[in-house]
C-alpha cells in the first residue's frame, strides 16, 4: 500500500514562537505560562527545557527545581494564532493542507507520485524548509509519513525535535511495538484502563487484538476504526460526511416559559452529546436555536453559536449552553421551539487534548452516563441544576482552539 498521508507537528510551538520573536531567548530553557504566577503550570516548554524534564503541565515550582536558569514568559495566544496561519500558508506553498488538527498540527493527503517514498520524503524536507524560510528559522517541526493519517501522526511523534519519519506498510505492525499504549493518538487514560482490563498492556498486544475486543475497549465503532487504522487502512468516518449532531423540540404550551425551555434544551444537549460520543466524534461548536411565538409578525428566530476546542464532554457543553442562553434577547415572548446543534465535528482520535486540561477526568463519567442512559432510557441520569452551575464553570477559550479550524469529513483517519 502506498503512502497516503503526511503529518506536520511543530516542536515546542509556543516556546519556539517566543524564541523566534525574542532572539535573547534562543538556546535558553523557556517555560510559557498562561499567567505570570507561581501557582500555575507551564503550557509549553522550549526544546532545551524538555532536556531538563520540563514539559506541558509542569508546575512552576517544579520547573524552577529542575532548572534554576529557566526563563518564564507569558503566553500570547493571538501571536501564536497569527504564526499558525503563516505556517499553514508555508506548508500550502508545497502541497495542499487537507486538515488543521490543532494550532501546531496539520495533515496533507498525498497525491499521485508523492505517494512514493522518495518523493514523499522530498516533500517532507521541502515543507520543513518552507517553514524555516517563510516563517522563522527556529521553528522546528517533526514530519511523519505513512499509509494513513493516524500512522502519519504516530510517525511524527517518533522523532523530536526536527524529525522526519516514514512508516511503511511492510513494516506494520512491528514498527509500532516500541511505543507505549498511551503514546498512540486516541488512547487516553480511560481507554488505556479498559484495554488493560481486557488484557492488553502493550502495543504489540493491541495489534493482535480482535475487532470485537477493540470495540469493547472503545465502547463502539471507534474500536473497529482503530483496528483498521493500526493496519494502515484508510478509515471511513461513521457516519460518513457527518458535520453536526443536533436535536430540536416544539414545546408544549405549558413549557414555553424560559425555565422549562432551558430544561428541555439541556435534555436535547445531553441526547446530542451522547450520540456524538457514540459516533466517536468531538464537537468544536455549539449552536442554540430559539423560535419565538409571535402572534402579529409570524415566528421570530434567534440563533447563536459558541466555539471551543473540540471535545465530547457533556460536563463542558453545559456551561457553553448556559452562556449562549444568557445571550438571548430579553423577553420577546413565549418560546415555541428550541434546538441545539453540536457542530465542527472531528474524530475523537484526531483531537489534541486541551492544553489546560491534560487529564480528562470527565471521560469515564461520560461513559458511565451513556451506559446508564442506554440501558434505562435517555434522561435516567441527568444534570439537575446544571444551569445554576454556570458561574462555577465558565467557558474557557483554550489555546488549542484555532479560530477557523478547518474540519474535514473526508473520512480518512
Ligand atoms: Mg507540537
Of 377 and 273, the structure prediction assigns the larger pLDDT to 273
* Ligand 1 center to 14 CA (angstroms): 9
How many A from CA of 11 to the centre of ligand 1?
5
Report the pLDDT averaged over residues 10-35: 95
Q: What are phi and psi of 396, to 5 degrees?
A: -105, 145
Q: For 174-196, what is each residue's pLDDT tens digit?
A: 999 999 999 998 898 888 999 99
In whole angstroms, what is the distance from residue 136 CA to residue 139 CA? 6
Mean pLDDT, rounded, for 218-228 = 88
Fold of 7-111+122-138: MutS, DNA mismatch repair protein, domain I (3.40.1170)
**For the chain, what are the domain ranges?**
7-111+122-138, 175-230, 245-389
Dig out the grid coordinates for 331 from the structure. Answer: 423577553
Residue 269, pLDDT above cutoff 70: yes
- Omega before 345 cis (within 30°)? no
Cα 241 to averaged position of ligand 1 atoms, centre (Å): 28
| Digit-coded pLDDT (tens) for 384-407 | 433 332 322 222 223 333 333 322
State how far the Cα of 142 lies from the Cα of 163, in Å rounded to an integer.
Answer: 4
**Cα of 105 from ligand 1 centre, angstroms:** 6
Higher pLDDT, 205 or 332: 205
Name the H helices within 178-257.
189-197, 203-208, 211-218, 221-230
Task: Tell me if 7-111+122-138 shares its fold with 245-389.
Answer: no
pLDDT tens across 331-385, in order?
Answer: 778 888 899 999 888 877 666 554 444 445 566 666 666 665 555 444 434 444 3
Residues 293, 257: Cα–Cα separation, whole Å: 11
- ∠ CA 194-154-229, nearest 5°, is 65
Q: How far is the CA of 257 from the centre of ligand 1 (A)?
A: 48
Helices marked H in 29-148 — which ranges?
47-50, 60-66, 77-92, 117-134
Comparing 51-65, 291-305, 324-338, which segment has the lowest mean pLDDT? 291-305
% of the chain beyond a pLDDT of 70: 81
**Is 105 one of the catalytic residues?**
yes
* pLDDT value, residue 12: 95
Number of other CB atoms surrounding residue 385 within 10 Å:
7
Contacts of 131 (CB under 8 A, 6+ apart): 10, 87, 90, 91, 139, 141
3-state helix, strand, coil in the chain (%, to 5): 40, 20, 40
Q: What is the pLDDT of residues 119-141, one digit of tens each?
A: 999 999 999 999 999 999 999 99
Range in 90-94, 100-104, 176-180, 215-219 the model is least confident about = 100-104
Provide the pLDDT confidence category of residue 238 given band limits of 50, 70 and 90.
very low
Catalytic, out of 105, 222, 233, 363: 105
pLDDT of residue 386: 35
Name, in order, each residue with C-beta under 8 angstroms of 224's C-beta and a sequence gap of 6 or more.
211, 214, 215
Work out the percent of the chain whose per-residue pLDDT is above 90.
Answer: 46
Q: How far is the CA of 262 from the centre of ligand 1 (A)?
A: 39
Q: How far apart are CA 201 and CA 191, in angstroms?
A: 11
Alpha-carbon gap, residue 306 to 30, rounded angstroms: 33
Mean pLDDT, all residues of the chain: 82
Average of per-residue pLDDT across 92-100: 86
349 CA distance to ligand 1 middle (Å): 16
Query: 174: how many CB neighbours lie within 10 A of its CB?
Result: 10
Distance in Å, CA 126 to ligand 1 centroid? 19
Q: The cell 413565549 sits on which residue?
A: 334
Supply the pLDDT for residue 281.
Answer: 84
Is the pLDDT reported for residue 69 higher than 50? yes
Q: Measured between alpha carbons, how far is 375 from 367 in angstroms, rounded to an integer?
A: 12
Identify the CATH homologous superfamily for domain 245-389. DNA polymerase, Y-family, little finger domain (3.30.1490.100)
DSSP 41: B
Q: Which three cell numbers stand for residue 388?
A: 445554576
DSSP secondary structure string, 138-152? Answer: T--EEEEEESSHHHH
Which among 143, 32, 119 is positioned nearest to 80, based on CA atoms? 32
What is the 343 CA–ligand 1 centroid distance (Å)?
25
* The pLDDT value given to residue 145: 98
Amino acid at each position: 500500500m502506498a503512502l497516503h498521508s503526511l503529518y506536520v507537528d511543530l516542536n515546542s510551538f509556543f516556546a519556539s514562537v517566543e524564541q523566534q520573536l525574542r532572539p535573547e531567548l534562543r538556546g535558553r530553557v523557556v517555560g510559557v505560562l498562561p499567567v505570570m504566577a507561581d501557582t500555575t503550570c507551564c503550557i509549553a516548554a522550549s526544546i532545551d527545557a524538555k532536556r531538563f524534564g520540563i514539559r506541558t503541565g509542569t508546575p512552576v515550582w517544579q520547573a524552577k527545581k529542575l532548572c534554576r536558569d529557566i526563563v518564564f514568559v507569558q503566553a500570547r495566544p493571538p501571536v501564536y494564532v497569527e504564526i499558525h496561519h503563516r505556517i499553514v500558508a508555508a506548508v500550502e506553498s508545497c502541497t495542499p493542507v487537507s486538515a488543521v488538527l490543532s494550532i501546531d498540527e496539520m495533515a496533507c493527503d498525498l497525491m499521485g507520485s508523492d505517494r512514493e517514498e522518495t518523493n514523499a520524503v522530498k516533500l517532507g524536507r521541502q515543507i520543513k524548509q518552507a517553514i524555516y524560510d517563510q516563517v522563522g528559522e527556529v521553528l522546528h517541526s517533526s514530519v511523519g509519513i505513512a499509509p494513513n493519517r493516524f500512522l502519519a501522526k504516530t510517525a511524527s511523534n517518533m522523532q523530536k525535535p526536527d524529525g522526519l519519519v516514514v512508516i511503511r506498510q511492510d513494516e506494520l505492525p512491528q514498527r509500532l511495538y516500541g511505543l507505549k499504549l498511551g503514546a498512540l493518538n486516541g488512547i487516553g487514560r480511560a481507554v488505556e484502563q479498559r484495554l488493560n482490563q481486557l488484557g492488553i498492556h502493550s502495543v504489540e498486544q493491541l495489534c493482535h487484538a480482535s475487532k470485537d475486543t477493540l470495540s469493547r475497549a472503545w465502547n463502539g465503532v471507534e474500536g473497529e476504526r482503530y483496528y483498521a487504522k493500526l493496519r494502515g487502512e484508510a478509515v471511513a468516518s461513521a457516519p460518513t460526511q457527518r458535520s453536526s449532531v443536533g436535536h430540536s423540540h416544539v414545546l408544549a404550551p405549558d413549557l414555553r416559559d424560559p425555565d422549562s425551555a432551558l430544561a428541555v434544551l439541556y435534555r436535547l444537549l445531553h441526547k446530542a452529546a451522547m450520540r456524538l460520543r457514540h459516533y466517536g466524534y468531538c464537537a468544536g461548536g455549539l449552536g442554540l436555536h430559539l423560535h419565538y411565538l409571535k402572534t402579529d409578525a409570524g415566528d421570530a428566530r434567534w440563533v447563536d453559536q459558541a466555539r471551543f476546542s473540540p471535545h465530547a464532554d457533556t460536563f463542558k457543553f453545559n456551561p457553553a449552553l448556559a452562556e449562549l442562553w444568557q445571550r438571548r434577547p430579553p423577553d420577546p415572548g413565549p418560546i415555541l421551539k428550541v434546538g441545539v446543534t453540536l457542530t465542527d465535528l472531528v474524530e475523537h482520535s484526531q483531537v489534541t487534548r486541551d492544553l489546560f486540561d491534560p487529564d480528562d477526568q470527565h471521560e469515564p463519567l461520560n461513559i458511565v452516563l451513556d451506559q446508564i442512559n442506554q440501558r434505562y432510557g435517555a434522561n435516567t441520569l441527568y444534570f439537575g441544576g446544571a444551569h445554576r452551575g454556570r458561574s462555577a464553570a465558565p467557558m474557557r477559550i483554550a489555546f488549542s482552539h484555532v479560530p477557523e479550524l478547518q474540519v474535514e469529513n473526508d473520512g480518512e483517519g
